[in-house]
Amino acid sequence: MNITLNQLAYDDMENLYVFELKNRAYFEKMVPSRGDDYYDFKNFQKKNLMLINEQEQELSYFYLIKNELGQIVGRINLTDIDKNQQLGHIGYRVGDEHIGKGIANKAVKLLLTIASNKGIRQIAAKTTTNNIASQKVLKKNGFIYTGTSSEEFAMNGQKLKFVYYNWSDSEASRL
């Protein structure tokens, strides 16, 4: 499947809302819930308008992963950008019916190119100990494991920890 990354825009709000609602239960198996308030359309719209504003200030970049038909199949973000340190943080999610098709891998690869073009030289990532697929995507794209948190938290009846990775364009160029 060919994909594109499109910056979050107001025109995508309704389709994004449908995507998030449809995949809520699936996403909450792997990451902490965003809470019920997030799924009220007015709140959802307000929060995403704040993200668009943050994006316009180049503090973060929020992308929708779209297929050839322009349908949203996932999201990928580069957040908390520190221009002085040339650092950002990555986060991504792919809809349930699109997992196992290499979409996350392709999206991360595309985002790394975008980040480099925007002067971001280091990217931090975190996932949960149960999200092996995400760990594989990060490793495949040149992220280096840097550690696992010592603190556990409970999610969906499981005791989990956060797993941390870093990417730098100097490391990636050696691969």
Give the pLDDT band (50/70/90) at residue 158. confident
- Please name each of the domains of the chain with its CATH number: 4-172 (3.40.630.30)
pLDDT grade for 32, boundaries at 50, 70 and 90:
confident
* pLDDT higher than threshold 70 for residue 175: no
Instruction: Dump pLDDT digits (tens) for 39-62.
Output: 999 999 999 999 999 999 999 999
> Over the chain, what is the mean pLDDT?
93
Alpha carbon distance 39, 174 (integer Å): 43
Whether the pLDDT of residue 173 is over 70: the answer is no
Q: Which residue has the higher pLDDT, 13 or 152?
A: 13
Q: Where are the beta strands (DSSP E) in 13-142?
A: 61-66, 72-82, 87-94, 122-128
**Is the predicted pLDDT of residue 174 greater than 50, yes or no?**
no
Roughly what angle, to the nearest 10 degrees, separates helices 103-117 and 132-140?
50
